[in-house]
Amino acid sequence: MNLHRVILTLFTVFSLLSACREIPADRLYALKLDNPPSEADWQRALPRTVTVRGGRPHEENPLPEINKDTVHTSTPSCHHGGQLPDPIRVEMKAFYTETDLFLRLVWRDPTPDAELNPWIFDGEKWNNEPQLQDGLGLVWADPVQFSDFTCARACHIDDFGVAGSGFHAGHRMKLANPDKVLDLWHWQADLTARLGFADDRRLDEEGMHGDLPGEIFRRNSRMASLQNAAGAPFGEQDSPLVDADGQPPDGRYYEPETRAPGYLVSPPRGSRADVSAHSLHENGHWVLTLSRKRVTGDPLDRSFLPGKANATHFGLAVMDHTLAEHYASTLRETLVLLD
């Protein structure tokens, strides 16, 4: 798409928004391009801001004012718009070509967490650090099956409570209806970003599954690799199987503060590798660009077709240094590919 066409399309959108025959403003609109979007295209694109609520920010003493007796006395939760902590605003932009869909998501996170349980050498031995990772999830829903879809419908809260400066919420990431399936893209700042993909998964009544069966993540732990190991994985007696270069650490020299990954990642195969991801952290924000074929041929994947009649509902979740307690969108969000 040349610059003239981009300007004409933007003018048309603005005209519709200001006319009597308004198009809904609560939509993420994707413009068609002849080629994958350039950085200049992203800068010109109209954003849709999605607010996610209810997670736990990665900061010291995040809820210092909460009384330790304040447990189950109010109803805020991850998926129902709780007022603690402050919400996160995610700026979303979208383009598509004849074959592919492209998304860019930007959100504020002053504390980037891109290592999950890393090993650090102290000059004598390896120690495992209890660090977590940031992440983002996108859930895609067929409007025919989920006419009133929101992220709250995708999972259920088992428990919610706060105690002192702590916060907890147990989630059952599964659907209530056994006849429905959601398409899930899961980006992780360490495990998937390392190889430039987002895990293509599905969500059903039994929980989350990879589109292709099998485990692609495993602990870089000697104890985890042994049967009847004497120590716990990542414990004091443990050490990594390989270093950052993929080499066994025995007999090798390392400077103090040398790091090794806490998890090993196998390249995804088949339909599990459908979603490409490029991420960077700059100016206190994560900038994540995702892309996937508009039609993959996999019945578990949502197809993205032009026109309002082919709109797709979606939910969005942001993880800040956590594997479970996430911020989630509470309103129905919709992606429309403008034709």
pTM, 2 dp:
0.82
Q: Delineate the domains of the chain, giving CATH numbers in brackets.
A: 3-337 (2.60.40.1190)
pLDDT at 58: 61
16-24 average pLDDT score: 46
Q: Which token pair is 112? A: 């980037």
Cα torsion at 183, 332, 191, 263 (round to 10°)? -90
Q: What is the rounded CA–CA span in Å between residue 125 and residue 13?
A: 61
Q: How confident is the model at residue 220 (pLDDT cuts 50, 70, 90)?
A: very high
Fill in the DSSP letter of residue 178: T
- Tens of pLDDT, residues 146-188: 887 877 666 544 444 444 444 444 455 677 777 888 999 999 9
Q: Rounded CA gap, 308 and 28, in Å? A: 11
Q: Read off the pLDDT of residues 35-73 as tens digits, 9 standing for 90 and up.
A: 999 999 999 998 999 999 876 666 645 444 444 443 333
The pLDDT score that the predictor gives to residue 15 is: 43
Judged against a pLDDT cut of 70, whether residue 13 lies above it is answered with no
pLDDT digits (tens, 9 = 90+) for 87-135: 999 999 999 999 999 999 999 999 999 999 999 999 999 999 999 999 9
The residue written with tokens 């979007």 in the block is 37
Q: What is the pLDDT of residue 289?
A: 99
